[in-house]
Every structure is written in structure tokens, then in C-alpha cells.
Structure 1
Amino acid sequence: MTTSLNSFLVAPEATRSESLTVYTTALAGAALATVLMLSTDVPLMATVVVALLALDLFGGAVVNATRSAKRRFHGPDRSARHHLGFVAAHIQPFVLALVVPDFTWTVAAAVYAMALASATVIAFTPAVLRRAIAFALTALGLLIATSLLTAPGELTWFAPVLLVKLLLSHMLPEEAKEQAAT
């Protein structure tokens, strides 16, 4: 993979180990999601879309947690507006509702709203509490996503991985940076 493509997909100055971890996780998540989808009677196009979403979400959950990506997303030129824009751009729940018959628009809206509302709270929480609040909201989101929302069994992984990617991996800066801000 070319350096510039890797810089775009992972982050500028990503280490070989970071890149390997990201791509391995992305491919494993996509493969497992594909196997789950192939065990259903959904259209092949839905399986392809889910595989691509899994590639993005599993890879993104790891990439956003790397130091190189933290430097990219939490630099001095980044604000709460940038972080919330990144979260808002994650319209994957609606893509699922569009292509997977049993993934309802109600579930899509609930997952999307939960991610965006939680990210907003995290963005405006004082730095000293930000990590704890992010974990609290993610834990509560996992409860809601897995117990109160009804997603098809082959997609029960979707909301939890989305929340980990956005709330824990993306919204939190490096811990040393958090401590310096307090």
C-alpha cells in the first residue's frame, strides 16, 4: 500500500504496527460480518454493503485509537465542531435501514441519535471527566443497543462497534493530552 493511501486510511506517520493492526482488524470484522450475513436470506447487495460497513467500523475503531490518528484528530486546530462533524457524518445506521429489510428506520434513528447525543455530551464535558463520561455513555449505549433496540441477530454487533469507534476511539484524545488540559 502506498504511503499516501496509508496516510489517508490510517493516519500520517502511522507506524507499521498500527497499520497492520488496523487492516487486520478491519478485514477480520468484515469477514465475520459477511459470514453472519451469508447465513441469512438477505439480498447479496445487502451483504456487500454490510461487509463494507464492517470494514470501516472495525478498522475505524482501531485506527481512531492509534497515536497517529489521535495526532490527526486532536491537534490544536481541531475543535468540538470538528469532532461532532465526524460523528454526524457516520450515517451508516441509515444505510443499513436502506439495504437490510429487518434493520428498521426507527432503530437506525435511535442508534444515530444516541451516538450523536453522547458525542455532544462528551465534547462539552470538562477534560478531567471526559474519559469517564465517554465510558459511561458507551456502556449505557451498549445496554440500549443490545437490550432495548431490536436489530437483526446478524447485526447485533453494529451499534456496539459504532459506539466504540465514535465515542471511545474518536472522541477521546490521548490521556496525556487530557491530563495536561486539567
Structure 2
Amino acid sequence: MSMQIPGPKPRTGLLGSLDRFIGPGATTAELVLQLIPPVVAAIVAPAYAMTLSIPWTPVQLGLIAILGFDLLGGVLTNATAAGKRWYHRSGQGWRQHLGFTAIHLLHILLVSLFLRGGDVAFFAGVSLYLLSAAAMIIWAPLYLQRPVALGLYGLALLGDRYWFVPTPGLEWFLSFFFLKLLIGHLLHETPYLPGEKR
């Protein structure tokens, strides 16, 4: 299934690399939303972790900072009109969306290895749910994608609370992780233009 949303093309050079990441044609307001809150998250997330009586290593604190930046940044970027136009442009079908989602298995692996002491059950359970939920959203009829995604996100929140022991210092991880991917990235939504009225 390929959803076609017209939009500007990426620029050349370094700015083009940015365009391919956040979507070409991002407004100043979208850029601010995609940069400032994630930077704050990259500072606050490890600062919060350091309030716990856990002997963190620099690698662990660095990973927490990166995850804070990436997940909040991903939630916001995937929600912008520029991001929607780019990630749901012509040629972006189920393979691309599932591939983008699968790349994030690395996040789960890193959390499992460095912050959960090599928790294989966490890695396997979260990975299987992520890929299964993504496939269900991708192949749902367009008019049902939003309720399917929200229902699956709700199940992810329940699993986070009642199935897995929360990751100390990273209790927010799965909430933002699934919000970024199931709700933010996968849902095809109208990319409104600045000043557009309902």
C-alpha cells in the first residue's frame, strides 16, 4: 500500500540530509518543535536517572540521553506535516514502513543489553509485539488504521505496566517508543499547511 502525499523535494548537500530525516519544507515552527524539546529530553532523562540510587556508567547515561532525544524527537517529527508528507510520499509502501519500524529493534536491543542486564525476554517480547502491531496497522484498511493503531498502543501501555518490570531510570521508554512508531510514524494523516483552516 503506497500513500501519495505531494510535497517539496529535499535540498542538496547537508541541508538535503536534514530534509531526508525530518521532511523537506519543514516550517520554522516545526523545526523548533523537533529540536528544542528533544534537547531538553536528552538533558532531563539522564538527570532523572541520576536521582536514583543506581551506579550508572557513562555509557548507560549516554544511552539514556540518546534515547530521550531520539524518542521525543521522533514523536514530534513524525507528527509534523513535513514528516507526514515525506514518510508517506509516493513510493513509501509497506516495505519501507516495516523497514523503518524494524530498524528500531536496535533500541530494544540496547535497552535489553545495557539497561536491563541482558534481558532476553524483554527483547523478544517487545520486538515481536512491535513487528506484529506494525504489520496489523500497515495492512489495515486506511479508514481503520487510526483505531487499530490506538488500540494496539493501548495494549502496549498495558503490557508495559503489567507484563514487564519497568526499566529503572527509563520507565518512560516503551510509552514513547510505541508512540513514535505505532501512532507517529505508521499512521497516514493529512499534512495540513500553515494557515490552513478546518
Structure 2 matches for 1:12-27, cutoff 5 A?
Answer: 12-27=24-39
How far is the alpha carbon of 1:123 from its aligned partner?
0.4
Deviation per residue, 1:97-145 (Å, 9 max, x gap): 2222447232122222211111110001011110000000001111101
SS of match in other structure, 1:77: coil
How far is the alpha carbon of 1:28 from its aligned partner?
2.1
* Paired AA for residue 75 in structure 2: A
- Select the structure that is richer in helix: 1
Structure 2 matches for 1:81-120, cutoff 5 A?
Answer: 81-90=95-104, 91-102=106-117, 104-120=119-135
Q: Which has the larger radius of gyration?
A: 2
How far is the alpha carbon of 1:37 from its aligned partner?
2.3
SS of match in other structure, 2:79: coil
* Paired AA for residue 33 in structure 2: T
SS of match in other structure, 2:129: helix
Question: RCO (CA 8 Å, sep 6+): is it higher in 1 or 2?
Answer: 2
Over the matched positions of the two proteins, sequence identity in percent amounts to 27
Q: Structure 1 residues 98-107 or 29-38, which shifts more?
A: 98-107
Matched residue pairs, number?
A: 176
* Paired AA for residue 113 in structure 1: L
Moved over 6 A (4+): none
Question: What TM-score do the two structures reach when normalised by structure 2?
Answer: 0.82
Structure 1, unaligned stretches of length 5 or more? 178-182
CA distance in 2, matches of 1:129, 1:153: 36
Structure 2, unaligned stretches of length 5 or more? 1-13, 193-198
Q: Is the 8 A contact 1:26 1:58 kept in 2?
A: yes
Aligned-residue CA RMSD (Å): 1.9
Question: What TM-score do the two structures reach when normalised by structure 1?
Answer: 0.89
Q: Is the 8 A contact 1:74 1:173 kept in 2?
A: yes
CA distance in 2, matches of 1:27, 1:173: 27
2:69 paired with 1:66: no
CA distance in 2, matches of 1:103, 1:71: 38
Q: Is the 8 A contact 1:80 1:123 kept in 2?
A: yes
* Paired AA for residue 140 in structure 2: T
Q: Is the 8 A contact 1:138 1:168 kept in 2?
A: yes
Paired residue for 2:163, among 145, 148, 151? 148
